[in-house]
Amino acid sequence: MNDTSAYVPPRVWTPGKPNGGKFATVNRPVAGPTHEQALPVGRHPLQLYSLGTPNGQKAAIMLEELLAAGHAGAEYDAWLIDIGAGDQFSSGFVAINPNSKIPALVDRSGPQPIRVFESGAILVHLAEKFGTLLPTAPAARAECLAWLFWQAGGAPFVGGGFGHFYAYAPEKIEYAIDRYAMETKRQLDVLDRQLAGHEYVAGDDYTIADIAAWPWYGGLVRNEVYHAAEFLSAPDYRHVCRWADAVAARPAVQRGRAVNHTTDDGTTLRERHAASDFDAIRWQLPTPAGLAAR
């Protein structure tokens, strides 16, 4: 085990030198904007401000599922929020999400714009708005929402815990990796046991619970998140693997996961994917002047 005895926490913590981690620039001890920057607004009813991370994929997948089901009102513009460049701390973004995290959505379909932040809230808002992917029967609805919030509560241990210390921390700390690997595997086991008796996360029907869980747990077992499938013994969770592959095969999921997706070198995928007959997405790329409609 690494020797961490040299560090003695001070009586009062204050931010010091950058820690050197891959995402060190996205962390700071205060909220609020760092600079003035208005957000672009496109011509469609829904404006998505996001990035193709596991959390960011949820809203885009939901929108693509709605379009695939024929909901014309789900047309949207997708705008890249480059968290590495600090776009999430702009005045425009903070105005729609005071927590400065992606994704965020502005629903402009009514007389007044509605801001919706937090991926789970976005999924519920869209499911209720269009009357789909969230059961209406009380027991089934409660089950779906329970699994939705299970994912919301568990993801920080997977991403900020396991993913950070396994893949991004500037040094490998055995204690931290062991702690969060154990919790991540426990969560995979919870999901595997649920999926042993059900086709999808909340039952026999595909719902927003699947859309929320798939980018994280599906990504883990398919080795698309942190490249840790072997480390976590992903094939052991055979029901999760079955479910992950089934969801990955959905055309709307394939389109949604590519929205505002960046490659390892930081560039944005330039392919224009036809989302539906509604021509819903305009792919937006950053320009030297910042984000702008193209």
Contact 117, 47 (CB under 8 A): no
Residue 284 domain-assigned (yes or no): no
Residue 70 domain-assigned (yes or no): no
* pLDDT over 90 at 119, yes or no: yes
Lowest-confidence region among 44-48, 134-138, 222-226, 264-268: 264-268
Contact 163, 156 (CB under 8 A): no
* pLDDT over 60 at 229, yes or no: yes
What average pLDDT does the segment 207-213 reach?
98
Give residue 215's domain range: 138-253
Residue 7: predicted pLDDT = 84
Q: For 131-150, write each residue's pLDDT tens digit.
A: 999 999 999 999 999 999 99
What are the Cα distances from residue 272, in Å, to 59, 103, 283? 18, 21, 7
Residue 9 domain-assigned (yes or no): no
Residue 2: predicted pLDDT = 57
End-to-end CA distance of the chain: 52
What average pLDDT does the segment 159-185 reach?
96
Residue 216 domain-assigned (yes or no): yes
Residue 15 domain-assigned (yes or no): no
* Percentage with pLDDT > 90 across the chain: 79
Contact 226, 189 (CB under 8 A): no
Residue 236 domain-assigned (yes or no): yes
Residue 263: predicted pLDDT = 56
pLDDT band at 20 (very low <50, low <70, confident <90, very high): low
* pLDDT over 90 at 249, yes or no: yes
Residue 3: predicted pLDDT = 58
How far apart are the C-alpha atoms of 294 and 292, rounded to whole Å? 6
**Residues 6 or more apart whose Cβ sits within 8 Å of residue 27:** none
CATH number reported for the structural domain that contains residue 174 in this entry: 1.20.1050.10
What average pLDDT does the segment 170-178 reach?
95
Residue 219 domain-assigned (yes or no): yes
Cis omega (within 30 of 0) on the bond before 103? yes
Residue 100 domain-assigned (yes or no): no
**Residues 6 or more apart whose Cβ sits within 8 Å of residue 57:** 215, 256, 257, 259
Domains: count for the chain: 1
